[in-house]
Structure 1
Amino acid sequence: MIITRLEDKEAAYADPKVSPLRLSYLNEHESKVLFCHKVFGSKSQSHNSVFGSKFYTAIKALLRNEEEENLEMVYNQVFEITEGLPLAIVVLAGLLRAKSFTEWDKVLSQLRTNEKSKQVKRILALCFDDLPSRLKSCFLYFAGMPENLIYNTNYIVRLWVSEGFLKPKKGKTMEDIGQSYLKELISRGMINLVRKDPSGGVWLVTIHDRVHAFAQSEAYEESFLEVHDNADLLMPNSVRRLCLHNYMQSHVPMDTSFPKLRSILCDFAEERTGNSVKNRDHNGLRYHGLQFIPRSKFLRVIDLRGMRIKKVPREIGDMVHIRYLGIRSHSLVDLPSSIGRLINLQTLDIESSHVKVITPTFWEIATLRHVMGNKLNSLADAFKKLESLLHLHLAAAESADDKIPFQLLTKFTLQRVQVLELYGAIDMSNTDIDERYVLPNLNRLVLKGSVVNQTFMNRIGELPSLKELVLCENSYTESKLMFSDSGFNSVTNLVMADMENLVEWTIRPMSIPMIRRIALSGFSNLKIKLEGHKGAECPKDLMVNLEEVVVCNMTGDILIEPADSGFSEKINKVAIRTKSEDIMDATLRAGRWRESMVAGNMF
């Protein structure tokens, strides 16, 4: 399918046998519904959902009679300005929702013009000018991303951090701040949310092609960033941020010196063609020597994807300004030991490469935050040195031979780790399950694809500081799960989602005594057995702190045994039953369950 603004005759050249489908703009009522949906934050775009939403009702309640009439005038002006073009409506709504109602008329008056052909660009320019300064650089950075793709926000935020775009805030990590910037850009309609992550944060985003084109034009005019398909630049001395996109070649000559270059991002053929590049005949193609790196002394960000790189020059160790080093190349097999001298390095990304060992001094870099690689043999040595690590996300490749070592929980000195997210099978072979766990400060544990058993669950139930437990798809292999009397004594938030094998969950009388919130999702049928002491009926004070249970995406029912227990009565009072995945996304946000169920609809 090709989506284009070309006329019928021009579009027919793509395939003369297929008649183009002409999409009409929205009519006045449809424009009003879409506008209100974006401004007032209802879940769907249906008429009843928008004009019955709490946000729309709250706005109406604050308006006097004359202001209600003004609101109707706003709808008319929005339709007049946008002519029903959905993109224009969405972006304009994002601009207005960031302002008070009294400022709306001033904004709309600036957009009243007869130049309808340039209206979208005028709206985008006004929206960009209205962005806080902290967001302008973040938005313009999307100009360097390949167009018409879905972007992983973890990658985007890591680049923002390395560029120094994010303003530190007490009590917040840089990743948290990056998430807040993303949500504001989404709220303003400048980028689009595609998917949230299991914790309810922004995971995948995209940007409309016309907004992307505007960002590239603005970035070029402000000398913020340049995008090219090769390195043959007319004025390389002036370039500060360079983005090269070439999906026809995996080798682009780059012998030029870039004395003022701060950042270089390359996306070449290898990354786009997937595994087929491995089988292609490369005779006659040269490996890239990266000679431009030592000639560009002020580089802070290097992100090279798909280039034919066999080795990295040892002079890279002298590039002390580097904060982000990404080299994704199937040809790369080795890194020089000099990278241990990159004292400001925050991120190393060598996924897709064949690098197995990294010099031990690398793991002693104090600023190091993120390392992505495949089957690094030096991980054991690394964990022994990362005694100050607070947050660890470890994902195993989808391979039977690639597993997360059980010793991660017992052998390494991860005394300060507070958040542990394990995505992939945990290797339980040749281990002593009775070994003492060394995670005294762990307060959040996420397991996905871990394929653990009841014995494993009994042991993690003894972790003294664990407050939030998330069990996702294929995290548990057995059909029955028991929370013993000594289990999860500190847990306040529990999420169990898409555990296809689980049909029965037994809760002992002394387990999860501090539980406040439970979320259950994706079960066909689930029996919850509540056990008392030595066969006695479940005590009335079981889980006295329980506040709410969120149940969603259930194709069957939850059966509570015994049916007349105190817990059965309580769950019936607090359960929220819904088909909406938004509720589950919201409940996964640690510490903000109730608030996030509302806020989650705002972006």
Structure 2
Amino acid sequence: MTQTGERRSYCLFGERLTKTRAVITIVGTGGVGKTTLAHMVYKRTKAHFHFDIMLSVSQQFSVIDLLRRMLNKIGHWPKGLEIQKKKKKIEQSLPSDEEEVDNYVGTLKRLLNRKRYLIILDDVWGVDLWNQLKDALPDNNNGSRVLMTSRSIDVAKFADPRMVPYELGFLNDNDSRDLLLKKAQPDDDQLADLDDLPDALSKRCKGLPLALIVVGGILSTKNQSYHDWKRVLDTMDWHEEDIDCMKVLAMSYEDMPYYLKPCFLHLASFPEDYKISAKRLIKMWIAEGFIPQQGRKTMEETAENFVEQLFQRCMIQVSSRCPNGSIKCFGVHDLLRDLAIHEARQENFVTVFQEAEGINHSQRVKRPVRCYGLTLEKDSEYGYTYMPRFYEFRLLRILEIVGINVESEIQLRGLDRLAHLKYLGFKNCNGLNIILECSFGHFKNLETLDLRDTRINDTVRLPWKISSESIGRSTLDLWTIGTLRHVLVDRQHELYFPKWLDLRNLQTIKWVSISDEETLANQLPIFNSMRKLGVCLINRNINCINWRSVSRRLESLPSLISLGIIGWDIPNEIVYPRALPNYQNLQTLYLDGNWANNVTLNARLFPPHLVKLTLVGLTLRDDPMKELGRLMSLKILRVERLTYYKQNMICSAGFPVLETLFLEVFDLPDFNIVLNIVNGVMSKLKYLKTSWHFELEMPPELKHVTVVRT
């Protein structure tokens, strides 16, 4: 945190301590740093509250959705309510929106009663929001706080007239220069050669933090020389009094290399304040043809580098990273998203329709035959009432349907005309009947098939819902598609693989359910290109000898970095294969099974370079921490559904780079388990989550760690 940030966060909370519930509002123009300051306050103060919630609101908010998200954050959203609502939807007796809001408001108020809470609402546009939320946030006279960020001073005055709004102004010259140099990162020798250029560049940004960050990102990609920095200054050809943030942002777009521009413009297709999965985005970029083949690199590796370049240029805001350091999830600042939308429209690159009526009638879509990607995201609580006529989108390369959570049937007509389709995904489509009127053989260019987090009913006519006894022609057609790279389905879908399967580009298959010896021994698809594999073994009679053979084949794969094995009531040797130490390149390992006998963990039985380890269903009589601590590269450790018979777990050594620890006891003991972390151990720990019956003994040096008890 910068000294400026320290001062501002202290001004917000340190000088405004009262017992009554206070509503504090940070007010300022776009790009001035309201969200950044709110995040600083959240991180520094959340440990003092029973409940802490931080949510992005956005301009088009739904109060029902917002209340539901708040209930989710404090872990009290009743899952059964969704099922009840679906039934009521069918019976046409659903409560009105007002009744539903009243129900959520009452529930939230009851949960927050007598609790000290911190609620941060980012990017509030109008007074209506507070009008609808205030009754859910009781004044418990215990120091509860509500912090809002807004561009409108009226929001601040309306929410709490007693509190003076914190108006966030522009940075002074010194702070502007410091922020620019922090992002540009020249070394001391180079800085001396730059003369007065840092001052001149920062003054052109007029103290606006977002502009300084973006310009700093541009400079970080240049040679740290006087002439290169001078060329950047020359492109900022406006007078200081005419500064417009969008001019600076537009300059950052123009400075991008040609190959990065379409990747940035594609971000315009995501909703405001959306957390974008880098893996999902990368598959879309490849399907769109944005990613070139570069030497021996896979296109996925090249695309990961493109995402990093966008981050280096400060065009995206990283939310989380994978264990190997690659970007996992990120967002886009509102103003940068506005820039992407503006440039995309200028180049006829992306059209974003608000709500479903934008495509209700195909004549509203200009030249639909030129549509290359189509994502249908749930816009209402009950999914879609309309599905476009796909035969009008013959050049479609991406089709993704997201968030249909009701018992409904959708007939996808005209898919057989989509000969160019490369990405087909149904995400979070629970209870959906999907009827395809064509064989997968029509999709000769298909690269990604994604059905994760989707429950498909038995009545669905999809070709992968078959067994080896009832193989269909459409399944054979699916496996003739030589371009396939990623097949992602849930565990309940059994994939059948013919013996002649030969897919040299296949990199990901999750999850493969195997129930017979023949598939295990001969037909499990194993190729040198395989990077991620998930296997679900659902027959206790699967032979250990055959599994050893498969395991030896897996250890020879040069590119395998992620492996998941699930086994239900099967021998330990299958779930916990002896060949694991030979998986030299493996970074992520997931082992799950109802293990019949007690397992003695030994660090030497794991791959040597593991970064993420998940163990599910273990039964242990001995403390596992001594052995697990010897996995020197481990950053994330998850132990779920653990049966444990001792009263202590002691972390006395090891775990030099561990950042996340999750411990969950399944077979609840009659006593609490003391988790003792010795001083100097887990020094890099950032996040600790345990089930409620763990008692924590942690050294003072870990007081910064986020601790969650469930």
TM-score (norm 2): 0.57
Distance 1:499 1:265, change over 3 A: closer
Does structure 1 conserve the Cα–Cα contact (< 8 Å) formed by 2:398 and 2:423?
Answer: yes
Aligned mate of 1:247, from 376, 379, 384: 379
Q: Partner of 2:222 in structure 1?
A: 99
Q: Deviations over 1:567-595 (max 9, x none)?
A: xxxxxxxxxx98889xxxxxxxxxxxxxx
Q: Quick one: structure 1 residues 240 and 479, their matched pair in 2 at CA, closer, same or farther if it must change by over 3 Å?
A: same
1:370 is aligned to 508
Spell out the pairing of 1:9-158 with structure 2 (5 A cutoff): 11-15=126-130, 20-21=155-156, 23-28=167-172, 29-40=174-185, 59-64=187-192, 67-78=194-205, 80=206, 84-101=207-224, 102=226, 103-113=228-238, 119-158=244-283
Q: Within the alignment, does 1:468 sit opposite 2:609 as a pair?
A: yes
TM-aligned CA deviation for residue 194 of structure 1: 0.5
Distance in structure 1 (CA, Å) of the matches to 2:488 and 2:241: 46
Give the C-alpha shift of residue 184 in structure 1.
1.0
SS in 2 for 1:177: helix
Instruction: State the alpha-carbon separation in 1 of the partners of residues 500 and 239 from structure 2.
Output: 61
Which has the higher mean CA deviation after the structures are superposed, 128-137 or 375-384? 375-384
Tell me, yes or no, if structure 1 residue 417 matches structure 2 residue 544.
no
**Cα pair distance change 1:579/1:88, threshold 3 Å:** farther
Is 1:178–2:303 an aligned residue pair? yes
Q: Extract unaligned runs of 5+ from structure 2.
A: 1-55, 61-122, 135-153, 157-164, 464-473, 640-647, 662-674, 687-695, 706-710
Aligned partner of 2:440 among 309, 312, 316: 316
1:150 is displaced (CA, Å) by: 0.9
Deviations along 1:51-87, whole A, 9 cap, x unmatched? Answer: xxxxx6xx233344x7343333333333x2xxx3333
Shift of 1:161: 3.0
Q: Distance in 1 between matches of 2:424 and 2:322?
A: 27
Match of 1:302 in 2: 424
CA displacement at 1:187 relative to structure 2: 0.8
**One-letter amino acid of the structure 1 residue matched with residue 483 of structure 2:** N
SS in 1 for 2:450: strand
Structure 2 residue matching 1:93: 3-state secondary structure: helix
Tell me if the contact between 2:590 and 2:615 (Cα under 8 Å) persists in the aligned partners. Answer: yes
For residue 650 of structure 2, what is the aligned residue in structure 1?
A: 503
Give CA-to-partner distance per residue, 1:168-188, whole Å, 9 cap, x none.
344544333222221111010
Secondary structure of the residue aligned to 1:311 is strand
Task: For residue 196 of structure 2, give the secondary structure of its aligned residue in structure 1.
Answer: helix
Partner of 2:67: none
The amino acid of 2:171's aligned partner reads N
Deviation at 1:269, TM superposition (A): 4.6
- List gaps (5 residues or longer) in structure 1: 41-55, 508-516, 529-547, 559-576, 582-603
Secondary structure of the corresponding residue to residue 320 of structure 2: strand
Structure 2 distance, partners of 1:4, 1:118, is 25
State the distance in 2 between where 1:3 and 1:213 align.
13
User: In 2, Cα distance between the equivalents of 1:424 and 1:195?
Assistant: 25
Is the 1:470–1:496 Cα contact (8 Å) retained in structure 2?
yes
**Equivalent of 1:194, from 319, 324, 344?**
319
CA pair 331-195 structure 1, distance change in 2 beyond 3 A: same
2:510–2:535 Cα contact (<8 Å) kept: no
Aligned residue for 2:424, secondary structure, equals strand
Native 8 Å contact 1:323 1:345 kept in 2: yes
Q: Quick one: percent identity of the two aligned structures?
A: 18
Residues 303-328 of structure 1 show CA distances to partners (whole Å, capped at 9, x for unaligned) of 34467552323333122122223356
Task: Report how far residue 439 of structure 1 moved.
Answer: 5.8
**CA displacement, residues 544-567 of structure 1 (integer Å, 9 cap, x when unaligned):** xxxx99842399789xxxxxxxxx
Tell me, in whole angstroms, the C-alpha distance in 2 between the residues paired with 1:355 and 1:267.
19
Amino acid at match of 2:554: L
**What RMSD, in angstroms, separates the aligned Cα atoms of the two structures?**
4.8
Between the aligned partners of 1:445 and 1:60, the Cα distance in structure 2 is 37
The residue aligned with 1:265 is 399
Closer, same or farther: CA 396–147 of 1 in aligned 2, 3 Å: farther
Query: Among 482, 488, 496, which residue is 1:349 paired with?
Result: 488
- C-alpha contact 1:325 1:349 (8 A) present in aligned 2: yes
**Any conservation in 1 of the 2:562–2:589 contact (CA below 8 Å)?**
yes
CA contact (8 A) 2:451 2:488 kept: yes
Change (3 A) 1:473 1:301: closer
Aligned counterpart in structure 2 of residue 235 of structure 1, from 352, 367, 371: 367
Q: Contact 1:251–1:287 at 8 Å: present in 2 too?
A: no
Alpha-carbon distance in 2 for matches of 1:176, 1:481: 35
Instruction: Name the CA shift for 1:144/1:493 in 2 (closer, same or farther; >3 Å).
Output: same
Q: Structure 1 length normalisation: TM-score?
A: 0.66
SS in 1 for 2:265: helix
CA distance in 2, matches of 1:191, 1:223: 22
Distance change (3 Å), C-alpha of 1:137 and 1:124: same
Code of the residue aligned with 1:94 in structure 2: it is G
Q: Is the 8 A contact 1:341 1:362 kept in 2?
A: no
Aligned position for 1:514: none
The residue type paired with residue 343 of structure 1 is G
